[in-house]
Structure 1
Amino acid sequence: MTRLILQPIGEICSNDDGEEHLLLAPEDDTELQSVAGWLNNHPVDEIYTDAIRNAIDYVLDGGRTGRFDLLSPEVHPGERASVGAKLEYEILRGFNLPKTKPLDTHITEIPVDMKATVGANWAIPTEAHCRLCICTQMQLKNNRHRSWLVRAHRSWLYRGKGNKDQKRGLAVHAREHWSLPLYNWTELPINPLRYLTEEQAAEVLGAKPGQVERMLKMFQYLEGRVIPRNVFLTVGAGKQDPMRRARQLRDRAAQQGLTVLCGTWPESREQAAARGISLKTGEWIALREDAGHADQGPKSQSS
């Protein structure tokens, strides 16, 4: 990137059409404050957490490929980069926002662009120069994410080398000092399959034995961890109706001393709640029958 002399708050910026405007601090930007006020009425960190997980699951396509780790060598860098494009639609759905032009959406009738990166900066397109952007950073190795609301003033953007569409990165100083943090670093749930050793993963994801046996092994290895529905689709990749196989596991698991609970079933949710565990619809957990103390919750998903 070329060197950027950052214009401070109070000076004049001009957009790509040559229209001049004042560089305002976030607290003085009425449009930014309006959008921030709307967002503050929503659980922004939770919506983004669910949206990022859904976008990653979509790109991995575990139900067809058997992949469960976005950082795996099996995942092409281009696929990793495409998480941001899918995330945009997941965020719109999470907030129940429309897809509009010229940017991604409108919040309180104000155009807003949504950008995401698995790196350290964002590619701000020309149509978003001097416009409001929600910029999300995902650190996959650290399993966390954070977001800012910022007006991407043209004066605060680097010019990328050889970028034909003139997309630019946002200056770090502007991000850190002249933006509004929407939420701090927030944990990104880990796919439970990542806790398996190589040997265990080979057993659980192998072609043989059948799905029921492999899912039973998964419950044994991941005892006490909440397992989302998507994990069963990954374990049963390429097979027919893996969820029906999962429902057949209860009796088999009981023979192994495991109680299998599923958040889709009211009685399971009640049993889980009695043990201090909150199960959402489609989530599963296997617990030792002799470990059902009310103060015992599931194993940490980030340990």
Structure 2
Amino acid sequence: MSVVIADKTGISKLLLCISAAVVIVLTASVSHSASTSNRQALTTAHLRVCADPNNLPFSNEAEEGLENRIIQLLAEQLDKEVRYTWFPQSTGFVRNTLRLRQCDLISGITTTSEKVQNTNPYYHSAYSIVHPAALSPAIDSMADARLKDMKIGIVAGTPPGDVLATKSLMGNIKPYHLVADTRRNAPAQQAMQDVLDGETDVAFVWGPIAGYFAAQHPAELVVTPLLKEDARVRMNYRVSMAVRYNETDWKRTVNAALAEIQPEIDQILAEFGVPLLNDRGEWVNAN
């Protein structure tokens, strides 16, 4: 019986060959998976969308939100039927929906998100200040000296909080939790309700939520986007839809359809009271 004893160099070469083979197999598998999902998203008769079931003004299970309206337009443009997978838009949303292939599209996400491949943005908005209409002149900046004597509502962990911390206003703040199960809690909406009820004097809220809530109380609340703040703390964001990485053809298809329906999208956003900014960051739909 003969025994072959490989030297260290031989073992190293063997391991390298095995490693290379594993990489090739894994790469081919990932490529095949991406190609298959890309093709399925393009060819299926359904527009499979992941969205929050209780998160107005964006979406709800009754399909009354602005994203629901826009998704319906998109489906008609693509000649598909909408099929929703509902999941609370909080921690784990992307991981438990798009990544698990429960859907092929997320209806709304900030364009800066690195968890997904973003489509072209379909609107641009900003964090806004909300206060009673009786307050005059309106507050349009976090540098306004009157804030020092006010009770301020703010959702913890949002950009306005970072600015307030530099202005020695933390003692004035009533905080609301950022991470919440939307089936039970709506922190931004509660912050605005507290302004309406006189529990706080002002609130700093993401623009679409602020605009939607204030539109239901037009004689009582004023909304102004924060456009005068230090550029080091970003207050404005573009919003896109989202697909999985490597699904480039599907992304291009969605982008083309969004471009076709953009005028109708703008009309829906206006109906919901969303403060909209142009490419220069200017407020374009001020009352």
Higher RCO by CA contacts (8 Å cutoff, separation 6 or greater):
2
Same topology, TM > 0.5: no
Q: Which has the higher strand share?
A: 2
Larger radius of gyration: 2
**So what's the TM-score if we normalise by structure 1?**
0.28
Given the two structures, how large is their TM-score scaled by the length of structure 2?
A: 0.29
